[in-house]
Amino acid sequence: MAGLAALQLYSPASFAGNVEDARAYQETPADRNRFVNSICDTDNDPTNNGTIRRIPKTQCEGPAIKPLRDAQSVIKVPYTNFQGEQKTGFLVIPNELTDSARTVFEQLQTIGFRINSVIPVSEFNWKDSESMAADNSSGFNPRCGGEDNYRVGCGLSKHSSGKAIDFNPVENPFYTKGRILPIGAKYITSVMGTVTGQVVQVLENNGWTNWGGYWNEKDYQHFQHQ
């Protein structure tokens, strides 16, 4: 599938495992810094050479972004990948939604839904476009709606609060303003990893009732918690 080659770069963030492994995981300071706090630029940061998207430190510590960061938890969730292997992935999600998110992924695995990868957007330079192109499923990502970037005063994406999860973007694209994102993606219900009625039911039963497939501009990968 599209994006699999690119995932070789990010595979250390995804581990073999099962439901018990995922449930046993406890967030570590290192994981939080890597998957949540790394969105903030720091003084004299040698890694920020222009390829990694960062929010300026003053803005990241300000009233628009800091409460969103502080509200997140890093959890592990189980899934079955396109090769039929049981895996666990890292998901960044609000504290109050951790049980709901774990249950969603456990139930999706039970019904046989395949997921390419579950890796925080930090591993894709904090760029939604790169995560989508790699066919990656993810949650928290502070940015403007429909963009890779953050600007003060913009309309924030629901991912900024972590209350949205995208699944398999290559199989479940976003149709917006005459474009299809990621580029080359197609929504074909017979293709493995495509969101269809049974998957929607699992999400809705667990409070993720706002599916982008219901919208006028379809965003089949996207579920928001209400």
Residue 162 lies in a domain: yes
Residue 226's pLDDT is what?
A: 85
Residue 101 lies in a domain: yes
Kindly report each contact of residues 122-128 with a partner whose C-beta sits within 8 Å and lies 24 or more positions away, as own/partner.
122/34, 122/35, 122/36, 122/38, 122/39, 123/10, 123/13, 123/35, 124/10, 125/51, 125/52, 125/53, 126/38, 126/39, 126/52, 126/53, 126/54, 127/53, 128/159
Residue 10's pLDDT is what?
A: 42
pLDDT band at residue 15 under the 50/70/90 scheme = low
Is residue 102 packed enough to be buried (19+ CB in 10 Å), middle (13-18) or exposed (0-12)?
buried
Residue 47 lies in a domain: no
Residue 191 lies in a domain: yes
Domain that holds residue 199: 6-42+52-224
Residue 26 lies in a domain: yes
Residue 95 lies in a domain: yes
Q: pTM, whole model, 2 decimals?
A: 0.88
pLDDT band at residue 1 under the 50/70/90 scheme = very low
Is the pLDDT assigned to residue 7 strictly greater than 50? no
Domain total in the chain: 1
Query: Which residue type, as a one-letter code, is found at position 48?
Result: N
Question: What does the mean pLDDT of the chain come to?
Answer: 87
- The per-residue pLDDT for range 194-216, each reduced to its tens digit, is 999 999 999 999 999 999 999 99
- Of the listed ranges 25-29, 53-57, 91-95, 119-123, the one predicted with least confidence: 53-57
For residues 213-223, average pLDDT? 96
Residue 1 lies in a domain: no
Residue 13's pLDDT is what?
A: 46
Query: Which residue type, as a one-letter code, is found at position 211?
Result: W
- The per-residue pLDDT for range 96-155, each reduced to its tens digit, is 999 999 999 999 999 999 999 999 999 998 998 999 999 999 999 988 777 666 767 677
Residue 57's pLDDT is what?
A: 87
For residues 153-170, average pLDDT? 89
For residues 147-172, average pLDDT? 85
Residue 202 lies in a domain: yes
